[in-house]
A and B are shown apart, each in its own frame.
Chain A
Amino acid sequence: MNGQRRSLINVVATGVVVMTLVLLGLFWARCACSDLRHSLLSGVTGVIEIRPARLFPWEQPDDPNLTTASGVRAQMSPMNPLLAGLGVVHYVQRRLPGGPYSNVYRWGAEPSDPWVYYDASLGQMVYKGTDRIRKNDGTGTFRYFTYYAGPEGVSEAPDEKLGRFIAPVVDPFSLRPWVIYDSGLRGFFAIHWQERTITKGPELAAGDMHRPVQVGLLSKNLMSLRVDFLPASFKSRPASASSDAVPGEAESQRLTPVAVGDICSFVKRVLVLDASGRIDLLDVDTLEFVGEAGRLPIPATLFRSSTAVTPDDVAAYCVEPIVVSHHGASNSWTYAGCAAGALSRDATAMRLELFDPNGRLVTSKDTKLLRYTGTGNGQSPPRDTISSVRAAYFGVPGAPTLTAVKFALENLHPPVFLLSSYLAAPSFEATSAYRSLVLLPESFVAMQAGDIRAGPIHRFYIAGLLMLPAIGLVVLLASLVARDGMKVGLSKDARAIWIIGTVVFGLPAYITYRLTRPSIRLVTCPNCGQARRPDMERCHRCGSLWIVPELTPPAWRVVELPERAGNESSAPAQETISEA
């Protein structure tokens, strides 16, 4: 292996090592920045509450029996919600049995605990559990069973006749019945384990726009965001006062709204989340869509002003269905609407929306901060509110510094990756930003790429402006490389490659250059007289070879006339040559 090839391999190896370490360092610096930003916001934007819910007509403000009206609340985790997107957490959620993305839906260490999982090799759902059997003598005993379910039926043994599920999306919450959507078979199925039957819904038509991604309990990163229903409280009615109750009291006592995750067993409906962000209601008996229940809320972001969000666009969401029980009528429940909360990509804003039973928006609320006009003594009244996103980046004390640090860190990133982030940002899942080393979907440049208010040229122009510090940095580094390359004796081609490499990869390329640049003692070029490398054939400055044509002095001289007269007798030979 010659020296040049060895050197090239060394440069590439050093570059990979430096790139990995620099990207890791920048990643953790960005994480620390994000964590600090969240700590600035926590406590002031962690909760949104909508009360009264205005969902139940019997809860009138003038009802003297009503102490507190019902409402809904969205609560962000006190820990940084972005940590849920960290690679190791995401991995555990995806792979660990029982996690939200696992094929093992239920399991337990005890033998009596039910196990429900999808056996990919069989293409069938497996349910292992225990039944309590009553004997003739009145005593009870347990029976262990294992059921296998495919699209064509349920049996106690795996059977090809049961068919195969291809890509099932299940409701992990409710098992009676167990509703499954298979995106490969394009249809819904309801497994009735006790009866060992399966109901098959109609296949979605080829042109049908429904693309269900979640069934039943609709949530993402449940540890980051929770939505709760807050029931109303009424004055207790003394037994003796029942005769002189005020009008409306009887009705308020009769209907009690509750929020339940498993609405299936109450109202024979399940919520289905579509890939477009729409929330549909599915009838469990017919397995057909019976209406729209709402949409995922659009939390505020720094640049974006989207008209709809998909499940991939938000860091977390949670949908809480609400049902109403009618006292007196057994098993009489009605679907009353749902509350949906969503957390923005960078976890700086939350939005909570409340939908009526027909899927119409009743009310909504965003995270906002009060802006004070005083000098900081806390006595002056708040002037107005400010969006929590603006507050997180510019409003809260310390936020502008963090924003500047984040901006600086992003501009230290290799420009080629920053540009790629701009181009690829809209296709990234929201939480992937918290485990991405190379691309930065949460950078200002990438966030700006999703701003639908501006046209593509305007977006690119703004992105270019946001990348100006990075461009300035690489120009500076490239000029340093060019100057130093000349000084240490790099050839013209090598200098050009290093300059291009520095422009493309930025800081890591410059560090690689500094670590691998030749450290050879230079010698004086016999041609130009400047320092040149002794291991190169040609001088990198004048391009001459080592062997310079010998400087033989001319045999003639220019002699002035008086001198000639004075020296006439001493140099006859030279004179002869000069004349010749």
Chain B
Amino acid sequence: MLSLIGREVYDHLVYVLACCLVSAITIGVMILTSVSGIVQAAYVSSTILMLVLFVGLCALGAAQMYGDRANRISALLSTLAVTRSRILAARVLVGVLTLLASLIPVLIAALILLSLAALPAAFYPRMIWEVSAAVALTGFACYCIGLEIGWTTSKTWLILGSFLLVALLASLVFAKGPGLEAIAILLLFIAAMLVHTWHKFTSASF
């Protein structure tokens, strides 16, 4: 499994690093805007950068599946002592690790900045938990969309579908607010997406 994960990371290193870079830029912008006292700009820029991160995660998922289908990687690996389910599990684990590596530093930075600039975090622990969970789940759902969309041969559908679906899904948090309802919907959506991807991936004959 570890070698599968390592291979996935190595194959898609550009996407993984791009996500981490967006995360680093987000932290930098948050610090700069907080130091200069432009709180509203901090919120707006962080939101925009989070959207960029969601697109990056979707691109990672799409690249994994598109590359597999185009180069028949899983067909080759299936000839070895590994199943398609394990290949997919390793792939998803890489997505989860990238997501955590991108979001945890942002969360820590946000907590420190909030405690410096506003009320201590003890005043709104539920808000921190809910917003973090909603952002993380939205990011993972975008990654799942990438996995789903990537299993195609049409580049037009790959690009347009990714942007359309990521925009639609990210809007869920705006529509419902980052509360328990949005978290429940996202969890359901992610589970359904993973099951559908697993069905499609394991049913493939190439």
A87 and B174 in contact, given A17-B196, A20-B185 (Cβ under 8 angstroms): yes
Which residues of chain B are near A435, meaning CB under 8 Å?
Answer: 175-177
A192 to B118, CA, bound (A): 27
User: What is the minimal beta-carbon distance from A412 to any residue of chain B, in angstroms?
Assistant: 16
In the bound complex, residues from chain A placing their C-beta under 8 Å from that of B148 are 17
Tell me the smallest distance from the CB of A180 to a CB of chain B, in Å.
19
Indicate with 1 or 0, residue by residue over A1-36, a CB within 8 angstroms of chain B CB atoms.
Answer: 000001001101111110011001101100000000
Contact status A97-B124, CB under 8 Å: yes
Interface residue A173 (Cβ < 8 Å from any Cβ of B): no
Q: Is the CB of B126 within 8 A of A95?
A: yes
Chain A nearest Cβ from B48, distance in angstroms: 15
Chain A: which residue is nearest B196 at the CB level? A13
Q: Is A178 an interface residue (CB 8 A)?
A: no
Name the residue on B nearest A102 (C-beta): B124
Cβ of A109 under 8 Å from chain B: yes
User: What CA separation (Å) do A328 and B199 show in the bound complex?
Assistant: 85
Determine whether the beta carbon of A97 is less than 8 Å from that of B123: yes
Q: A13-B199, A20-B185, A24-B168 are in contact. Are A91 and B178 (CB under 8 A)?
A: yes
Instruction: Decide: A13 and B168 in contact? CB cutoff 8 A.
Output: no
CB < 8 Å neighbour of A87 from B169, B176, B203: B176
Contact B199 A24 (CB under 8 A): no
What distance in Å separates the Cβ of A128 from its nearest Cβ neighbour in chain B? 11
Q: Report the separation of the CA atoms of residues A150 and B148 in the bound assembly, to the nearest whole angstrom.
A: 56
**Option from B123, B168, B192 in Cβ contact (under 8 Å) with A117:** B123
Residue of B nearest to A31 (CB): B175
Min CB–CB distance A31 → chain B (angstroms): 8
CB-CB under 8 A for A107 and B119, given A10-B196, A24-B171: yes
Interface string of A408-430 (1 = CB under 8 A from B): 00000000000000000000000
Complex contacts, A91 vs chain B, CB 8 Å: 130, 177-179
CA distance A440 to B177 in the complex (A): 17
Q: Is B163 an interface residue (CB 8 A)?
A: no
In Å, the complex CA distance between A49 and B176 comes to: 35
Contact A16:B188 (CB < 8 A) given known A24-B169, A28-B171: yes
| In the assembled complex, B22 has its CB within 8 A of some CB on chain A | no
Interface centre among B172, B176, B193 (most CB of A within 10 A): B176
Residues of A in contact with B, size category: 20 to 34
Residues from 106 to 121 in A contacting B, C-beta threshold 8 Å: 107, 109, 115, 117
CB <8 Å contact, B192 and A13: yes
Q: Check if A466 is an interface residue, CB within 8 A of chain B.
A: no
**Which residues of A, 294-310, contact B by the 8 Å Cβ criterion?**
none
Kindly state whether residue A437 has any CB partner on chain B within 8 Å.
Answer: yes
Contacting pair A24 B172 (CB below 8 A): yes
Q: Which residues of A contact B188 (CB under 8 A)?
A: 16, 20
Compute how far the CA of A96 lies from the CA of B130 in the bound complex, rounded to whole angstroms.
12
Tell yes or no: B127 within 8 A of A by CB: yes
Contacts of B119 in A (CB 8 A): 97, 104, 107, 115
- The reply to whether B192 and A437 contact each other, CB–CB distance below 8 Å, is no
A22 to B78, CA, bound (A): 36
Q: How far is the CB of B131 from chain A (nearest CB, A)?
A: 9
Instruction: Check: B117 CB closer than 8 A to any chain A CB.
Output: yes
CA distance A117 to B124 in the complex (A): 12
| Residues of chain A contacted by B172 (CB below 8 angstroms) | 20, 24
Contact partners of B169 in chain A: CB under 8 A: 21, 24
Taking A13-B192, A17-B196 as contacts, is the C-beta distance between A24 and B175 under 8 angstroms? Answer: yes
How many angstroms from the CA of A124 to the CA of B168 in the assembled complex? 43
Chain A residue numbers with a CB within 8 Å of B175 are 24, 27-28, 86-88, 435, 437
User: B residues within 8 A CB of A12?
Assistant: 192, 195
Complex partner residue of B189 from A17, A95, A97, A115, CB under 8 angstroms: A17
Report the nearest A residue to B141, measured CB to CB. A20
A90 within 8 A of B: yes
Assembly CA distance A21 to B118 (angstroms): 37
* Contact in complex: A87, B199 (CB < 8 Å): no
1/0 per residue, CB under 8 A from A, across B183-197: the answer is 001001101110110
Question: Is A16 in contact with B192, judged by CB distance below 8 angstroms?
Answer: yes
In the docked arrangement, what's the CA distance between A480 and B188, Å? 29
Contact of A88 (CB < 8 Å), options: B118, B124, B177, B189: B177
B182 at the interface (CB under 8 A from A): yes
Q: In the complex the two chains form, what is the Cα distance from A92 to B127 in whole Å?
A: 9
On whether the beta carbons of B196 and A88 are closer than 8 Å, the reply is no
Residues on the B chain within 8 Å of A21, using CB:
165, 168-169
Residue numbers in B under 8 Å from A16 (CB-CB): 188-189, 191-192
Q: In the complex, what's the smallest C-beta–C-beta distance from A179 to chain B, in angstroms?
A: 23
Tell me the chain A residues, 89-141 only, with Cβ under 8 Å from chain B.
Answer: 89-92, 95-97, 104, 107, 109, 115, 117
Q: Which residue of A lies closest to B118 (CB)?
A: A109
Q: Which residue of A lies closest to B144 (CB)?
A: A17
A310 to chain B, nearest CB (A): 23
Selected contact of A10 from candidates B168, B173, B178, B195, CB within 8 Å: B195
Please determine whether A20 and B124 come into contact, CB atoms closer than 8 angstroms.
no
Nearest A residue (CB) for B202? A6
Nearest-CB residue, chain B, relative to A28: B171
Residues of A contacting B174 with CB < 8 Å? 86-88
**Inter-chain contact A9/B179, CB cutoff 8 Å:** no
How far in angstroms is the closest Cβ of chain A from B82? 19
Point out the residue from A25, A89, A90, A92 that lies within 8 Å of B168, measured CB to CB: A25
User: Can you list 23 A-B pairs with a CB-CB distance of less than 8 A?
Assistant: A10-B196, A13-B199, A16-B192, A20-B192, A24-B169, A25-B168, A27-B175, A28-B171, A28-B175, A87-B173, A87-B176, A87-B177, A89-B177, A91-B178, A92-B177, A95-B124, A95-B127, A95-B130, A97-B119, A104-B119, A104-B124, A107-B123, A437-B176
Top 6 closest A-B pairs, CB basis?
A91-B177, A87-B177, A16-B192, A13-B195, A87-B176, A13-B192
Known: A13-B195, A91-B179. 18 other contacts (CB 8 A): A10-B196, A12-B192, A13-B192, A15-B192, A16-B189, A17-B196, A21-B165, A21-B169, A24-B175, A87-B173, A88-B175, A91-B177, A92-B177, A95-B124, A97-B118, A104-B124, A435-B176, A437-B185
